[in-house]
A = this chain, B = another copy of it.
Amino acid sequence: MLSAVILLADGTEEMEFTITYDTLVRAGVACCSAFVPAANASVERPYATGSRGIRIMYDAVFGDSKQFLPSSYDALVIPGGAKGAETMSTNLTVQNLVRDFLAQDKIVGMICAGGQAALTTKLPRQPLTSHPSVKAQLENDFEYSEEPVVVSNKLVTSRGPGTAFPFALTLVELLCGADKRAEVRAPMVFPPNTPF
């Protein structure tokens, strides 16, 4: 069974997290949400508080090797939300995991401010997008695009909550194929003429 780890922190954009997790589960991908504590913070609660106040229980704590073996997963996703993305992108263990996944030809997804992790991880220059609010941080080091979803080998980047569905469906397609993408998409009932 294919599997994905989706990072979660205080300040994560809860729509981006939830749309990605739920859509991957619909495709039959086993998902694990892994909580990344803020720098120098301890893990005191069983949940993360999203950027708009929704409290989501996490499945595992990132970095707790007894509880969670990230290398066993097929894909890694870094959602946005300014504060959550800062916590993730500045975490050295997250940075190492991003590099390890890409080195092993595994999928890494970054959406919205999560794209900052491409910079902190020092990924090579390549096509990429992000939320417009972090474009200035990225455009000198990458081939910055304003496409809703950019696939660069196994790095998949996207822009914000409004592109979270095409982002998640692209991850489904890369992991499970175009037929599975279509099968998952249909019962979601997107409006006619939705461009993804």
Contact = CB atoms under 8 A, between A and B. Distances in A.
A142 B135 CA distance: 48
Interface stretch (A14-22, A84-92, A96-104, A119-127): A14-22
Nearest to A111: B189
Interface residues of A, number: 44
A189 B163 contact: yes
A159 B192 contact: no
Given A14-B22, A19-B15, A22-B161, A195 B196 contact: no
A31 interface: yes
Chain A residues touching B, majority SS: mixed
A176 interface: no
A33 B166 CA distance: 27
A69 interface: no
A174 interface: no
A195 B191 CA distance: 7
Contacts of A63: none
Given A18-B14, A25-B53, A189 B165 contact: no
A165 B191 CA distance: 10
Interface string A1-36: 000000000000111001101110110000101000
